[in-house]
Structure 1
C-alpha cells in the first residue's frame, strides 16, 4: 500500500514538473548578438527582422543589452513610435542590461531617446496577444436525447422532427494555447513504469 501511494505521489510530482516547464515564460535578448544599438543592418531591424518569428506573451521578458550612451523608453501610441516622439516617452532604464517583463496584451512600443538613435532604427514594437497561462480545455457537452414528438390529435397539426446536433469537430485557431497531450502521454508512461517497479 505504501509503495503504491509513493508511486502515485511521484507520478503527480513528475506531471506537475513537466507541465510547469512547458508553459514557462520566455526570455528574449533584444537584437540577439547585435544588442540594443543604433548601428543596425537596416532601420527596421528590430521590428521587421529580429522579432519576425517570435510570439510574445504575458510573462515573457525582454532583455535590452547595450554599451555606450543608450536607454530604453516606452511610448504609448504607434504615432509616437513612428515619429520617434520623446515628449511623452517614459524612460525605463539608462543602465544596461535592462529586463522588461511583459505584463499586458496589446502593442508595446520601445525607443531610445538619445540623440537621433530612434530615427536610425533603435526602436522596437511588439504585439502581445495572450498569456503563458494555458487555457482550461472545455469539456464537450453531450447533446441531450431528443424527445419523440407526440402523435398529433388533429389532422391539421404538424410535427417537427428534432434537430440533429452539429457533430463537426472544431479545430484550434493558430492563437490557441499549445497542446500538452505529449506531456500527458509521457507522464502516463512514466507513472506506469514507476508503479510497475514498485510492485
Structure 2
C-alpha cells in the first residue's frame, strides 16, 4: 500500500512539473500581404493591405515581415497624417533591405507605406492597430469590405485562411497534450506496481 502511495506521489509530481515546464508562446511572424508580398496592389485587389490588416489579429510580440525587391521598393513607418496624405518625407522608420522585419513592442496604431514616390497613392500602405478595437483600416473612399465573419480572403493563389486569433485555443491544445502525457506516465507507474 505504501508503494502505491509513493507511485501516486511521484506521478503527481511529474504531472505538476510538466505543467510548470509548459510555456505559452503566442507570438507570430506575419508576412505582410501573404503570398502577394509587399508591392503595389493590382487594380482588381486595390484594398489588399486593408483586407490583410483586418483579417490578421496581431498582438504584442508579433512581427511584420515585409518582403520586396530591395532595388525596387522599401517600407517606411509614418505618422497617421503622413499615411492619409501619402507624405513620405521624414519617416519614423526607413527599411530598404527587401527583408524588413518590424517587431510589435507596444500598443497603438502603426502606419506603413512604400518609400517610393507614387506607390502610396496606389494603395501600397497598411495601418495596423494593436490593442483596443483590433486591426481596422477604414477610409472614407474604401469600397465595401468583406464581412467580419469571413473564414478567409481571396488572393491570386486562392483563399488564405485567417491567422490564429488571440483566443486560448493554442494554449488549450498544449494543455491537453500535457494532460495526456501526464496520464500516460501515471498509468505506466501504476502498471509497474
Question: TM above 0.5, one fold?
Answer: yes
**TM-score, length of structure 1 as denominator length:** 0.63
- Whether 1:178 aligns to 2:178 is no
Asked if the contact 1:47–1:126 (Cα under 8 Å) also holds between the matched residues in 2, the reply is no
Q: Is the 8 A contact 1:42 1:121 kept in 2?
A: no
Instruction: Please provide the CA RMSD for this pair.
Output: 2.9
Q: Name the larger-Rg structure.
A: 1
From 163, 186, 190, the counterpart of 1:195: 186
- 1:65–1:17 distance in 2 versus 1, CA, 3 Å: farther
Question: What displacement does 1:118 show?
Answer: 0.9
Q: Which residue of 2 aligns with 1:140?
A: none
Structure 2 unaligned residues grouped into runs of 5+:
133-164
User: Any conservation in 2 of the 1:76–1:109 contact (CA below 8 Å)?
Assistant: yes
CA-to-aligned-CA distance 1:113-143 (integer Å, 9 cap, x gap): 212111111111011117xxxxxxxxxxxxx
Structure 1 residue 93 corresponds to structure 2 residue 95: yes
Higher helix residue share? 2
Secondary structure, counterpart of 1:56 in structure 2: coil
Whether 2:75 is the aligned partner of 1:72: answer: yes
Query: What TM-score comes out, normalization by structure 2 length?
Result: 0.65
The gaps in structure 1 that reach 5 residues or longer are 131-174
- Structure 1 segment 1-199 matched on structure 2, within 5 A: 7-8=11-12, 10-16=14-20, 18-20=22-24, 23-40=25-42, 41-48=44-51, 50-67=52-69, 68-77=71-80, 79-129=81-131, 178=168, 180-181=171-172, 183-199=174-190
- Could you list the per-position Cα deviations for residues 45-70 of structure 1 after superposition, in whole angstroms to 9, with x for gaps in the alignment? 1013x223210100001110011411
Count of residues in Structure 1 that have an aligned counterpart in Structure 2: 151
Q: Give the conservation status (yes or no) of the 8 Å contact 1:27–1:63.
A: yes
Query: Matches of 2:9 and 2:100 in 1, distance apart?
Result: 47
